[in-house]
């Protein structure tokens, strides 16, 4: 119980410190973030390691950062192979099949919950129905979708209002999902028939707002030398295999960096029910120490390959710079608000998670001073869509990366051969 006597003690102590009155006059008139800018928030755009990438894409008002980060890697292969000045792949195409697959697996899970006598008061059921249909995802989900459906150029399957603004479609599909649960709860019929009935409804809704993805298309382009090319009647899978050809499922692994009394370094973890596609594997992460984690980032950058990463936007950006705002907020109040990466994860501080690419770093005298970030929020933000990140921000808020297996050490590759440790979805800190 908070006693009045204690509050009075706080008040007396507060009023005794004259600087508090000065701070009060100042802080109640401004946005606090405006007080945090200094020379550190005006870093230039020069990097000792700088991977050339192309114009910034825009996920608009959607939670598709995970797929846009992946597409930004893949399009560079098309640009290279076709000798183009610029190019974009279709984020709407990925979203179409993601919505279908996600809806399907949620129906399947609700059926399995019913078969195992789980009801609304079971946290698996309540958690699924509460979350409903969302946009967020993982690299593994992206890799699975590409493996199954391939990809098409953006001009073949362009953005629609609903693919760029997903709030309405997510609300509609979430309501449909909840109606399915009510029907399932009362049903004595074949559950597969009920599921197919609702999948057809979902398919109709999604196709109406996204359009019908092509099974075949003509790939036309003019290279940077002015030569016209035409590849007729090609499927999305054929396009991917011919112009990109990366095996995302086999050649890459997600790396985490977290340890507590249950989760330890040098293990491989699988998060239950993390797959968004029926029949495909769950998210799997190789959990390594902070030193190995950052070493792999630098090693992959030096091999001229960007790093797909997950971060917490608990700490925001200022004018195109990602910095540890929380620590600086503490400076305003003379209070220590600093937490290291492990502590942020341990205390469930990974909020508003976001995926981007690291495409460069600046190393002076073997010390990293800053990082280059490729985002998918359009060219109006940052430096034409690119950002700079301070090293402390990378250390404290980047919690998961995607690494090409060919740069892993023999020891790290051996860990991948170990039995996977299954984490309940409630225990996956990363």
In sequence order, which ranges of 277-408 are alpha helices (DSSP H)?
290-302, 325-333, 341-346, 391-397
Local structure of 421: helix, strand or coil: strand
- Lookup: tokens for 117: 């006598």
Measured CA to CA, the distance from residue 311 to residue 65 in angstroms comes to 11
First-to-final CA distance of the chain: 35
- Lookup: tokens for 210: 């996204």
Q: CB under 8 Å to 318, separation ≥6 — which residues?
A: 33, 36, 37, 41, 325
Of the candidates 41, 88, 4, the one whose C-alpha atom is nearest the C-alpha of residue 379 is 88
Cβ atoms of residues 84 and 223 within 8 Å: yes
Q: What is the CA radius of gyration of the chain?
A: 24
Beta bridge partners of 348: none
Q: For residue 126, give Cα distances in angstroms to 12, 86, 117, 351, 352.
A: 47, 45, 14, 21, 22
Query: Which residues are catalytically annotated?
Result: 65, 354, 375
Nearest-10 crossing angle of helices 167-186, 191-210: 170
């Amino acid at each position: 119980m908070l006693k009045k006597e204690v509050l009075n003690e706080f008040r007396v102590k507060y009023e005794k410190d004259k600087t508090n009155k000065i701070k009060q006059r100042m802080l109640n008139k401004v946005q606090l973030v405006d007080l945090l800018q200094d020379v550190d928030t005006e870093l230039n755009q020069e990097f000792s390691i700088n991977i050339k990438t192309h114009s910034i894409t825009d996920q608009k008002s959607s939670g598709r950062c995970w797929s846009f980060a992946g597409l930004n890697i893949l399009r560079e292969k098309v640009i290279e192979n076709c000798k183009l000045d610029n190019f974009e792949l279709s984020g709407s195409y990925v979203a179409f099949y993601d919505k279908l697959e996600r809806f399907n697996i949620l129906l399947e899970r609700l059926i399995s919950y019913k078969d195992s006598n789980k009801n609304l008061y079971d946290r698996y059921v309540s958690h699924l129905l509460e979350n409903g249909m969302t946009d967020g995802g993982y690299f593994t989900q992206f890799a699975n979708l590409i493996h199954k459906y391939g990809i098409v150029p953006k001009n073949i399957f362009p953005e629609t209002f609903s693919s760029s603004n997903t709030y309405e479609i997510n609300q509609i599909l979430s309501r449909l999902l909840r109606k399915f649960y009510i029907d399932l709860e009362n049903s004595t019929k074949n559950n597969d028939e009920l599921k197919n009935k609702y999948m057809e409804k979902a398919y109709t809704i999604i196709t109406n707002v996204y359009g019908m993805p092509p099974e075949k298309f003509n790939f036309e382009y003019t290279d940077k030398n002015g030569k016209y090319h035409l590849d007729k009647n090609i499927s999305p899978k054929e396009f991917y295999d011919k112009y990109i050809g990366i095996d995302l499922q086999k050649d890459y692994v997600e790396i985490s960096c977290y340890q507590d009394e249950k989760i330890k370094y040098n293990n491989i973890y699988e998060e239950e029910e993390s797959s968004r596609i029926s029949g495909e594997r769950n998210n799997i992460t190789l959990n390594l120490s902070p030193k190995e984690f950052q070493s792999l980032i630098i090693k992959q950058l030096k091999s001229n390959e960007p790093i797909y990463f997950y971060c917490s936007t608990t700490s925001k950006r200022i004018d195109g710079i990602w910095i540890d705002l929380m620590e600086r907020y503490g400076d305003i109040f003379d209070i220590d608000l600093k937490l290291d990466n492990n502590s942020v994860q341990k205390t469930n501080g990974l909020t508003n998670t976001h995926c981007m690419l690291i495409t460069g770093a600046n190393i002076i005298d073997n010390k990293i001073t800053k990082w280059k970030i490729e985002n998918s929020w359009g060219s109006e933000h940052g430096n034409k869509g690119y950002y700079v990140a301070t090293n402390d921000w990378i250390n404290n808020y980047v919690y998961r990366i995607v690494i090409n297996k060919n740069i892993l050490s023999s020891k790290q590759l051996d860990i991948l051969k170990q039995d996977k440790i299954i984490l309940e979805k409630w225990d996956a800190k990363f």
